[in-house]
Amino acid sequence: EIQLTQSPSSLSASVGDRVTITCRASQDITNYLAWFQQRPGKAPKSLIYGASNLQSGVPSKFSGSGSGTDFTLTITSLQPEDVATYYCQQYKGYPLTFGGGTKVEI
Amino acid sequence: EVQVVESGGGLVQPGGSLRLSCVASGFTFSRFWMSWVRQAPGKGLEWVANIKEDGSERYYVDSVRGRFTISRDNAKNSLYLQMDSLRAEDAAVYYCARDFYFDPWGQGTLVTVS
């Protein structure tokens, strides 16, 4: 099973800050990595697939990078509506797995 | 609009059964793998199962294999999850999602096992 470790597990930042979340895979997953945003009480929303491809309609303030085992989600100019838990997910192998999540607060 | 809508959740006793449904619209359902993903209260996301476009391949997380069955009806743009021998640890919001990188998600349907 491919394990994904996200860090930090939570963070507090100020409006306008740049935020970076990392996701480390236990083995090489090339670029088979996605990122999701889950606002409080809501269903998850897809942000990025293929490690760096922005889903349609997702603002360009979100960006993803990385390959192999180390990946990053960056949020520029943090806004109150970005308060959420962010998850990474790998689809290189079964079972498909998620990271433990990073809770972003302001 | 591309969307999926889940239904069928509810309260069930341990050992009982439940069948979840997901209806898709706004895209050609028969061309996509589909998944079920769950989230226990206050916990993270867990992939449960997925099924190939034509239903010929199905994969499960170990904890549900042999108890849950994923299926689809492409004529009805529908995905199903038959859940048998339910346990307390199966209690969660169950989401239907398209493709391997889960887009879009539905609003989820709550399964309570008690």
pLDDT tens digits, chain A, 106 residues: what are they? 999 999 999 999 999 999 999 999 999 999 999 999 999 999 999 999 999 999 999 999 999 999 999 999 999 999 999 999 999 999 999 999 999 999 999 9
Determine whether the interchain pair B50/A96 forms a contact, defined as Cβ–Cβ distance below 8 Å.
Answer: yes
Q: Which of A36, A45, A91 sits opposite B100 (nearest CB)?
A: A91
Q: Write the pLDDT tens digit of every residue in B36-78.
A: 999 999 999 999 999 999 999 999 999 999 999 999 999 999 9
A87 interface with B at CB cutoff 8 Å: yes
Quote the pLDDT of residue B48. Answer: 98
Going by C-alpha positions, the residue among A22, A103, A92 that lies closest to residue A64 is A22
Q: If you search the block for the tokens 């889960």, which residue do you land on?
A: B102
What is the maximum span of chain A, computed from C-alpha positions, in angstroms? Answer: 38
Q: How many CA atoms lie within 13 A of B79 on its CB side?
A: 33
Quote the pLDDT of residue A106. Answer: 96
Q: Chain B partners of A50 at a C-beta cutoff of 8 Å?
A: 101
In the 8-state DSSP scheme, what is residue B2?
-
What tokens appear for B76 in the block? 């009805």
CA closest to A90 among chain B residues: B101
Cα–Cα dist A39/A54, whole Å:
18
Q: Chain A partners of B100 at a C-beta cutoff of 8 Å?
A: 32, 91, 96
Strand, helix or coil for residue B89: helix
Dihedral over alpha carbons A97, A102, A103, B3 (to 10 degrees): -40
Cα–Cα dist A10/B52, whole Å:
35
Percent of chain B with pLDDT over 90: 98
Strand, helix or coil for residue B12: strand
Task: Categorize the per-residue pLDDT at B101 as very low, low, confident or very high, splitting at 50, 70 and 90.
Answer: confident
B33 interface with A at CB cutoff 8 Å: no
Task: Categorize the per-residue pLDDT at B29 as very low, low, confident or very high, splitting at 50, 70 and 90.
Answer: very high
Per the prediction, chain B carries an average pLDDT of 97
B1 interface with A at CB cutoff 8 Å: no
Determine whether the interchain pair B103/A46 forms a contact, defined as Cβ–Cβ distance below 8 Å.
Answer: yes
CA closest to A40 among chain B residues: B42
Summarize the confidence of residues B28-36 as an average pLDDT. Answer: 97
Cα–Cα dist A55/A61, whole Å:
12
Summarize the confidence of residues B5-29 as an average pLDDT. Answer: 97
Q: Which of A44, A49, A101 sits opposite B105 (nearest CB)?
A: A44
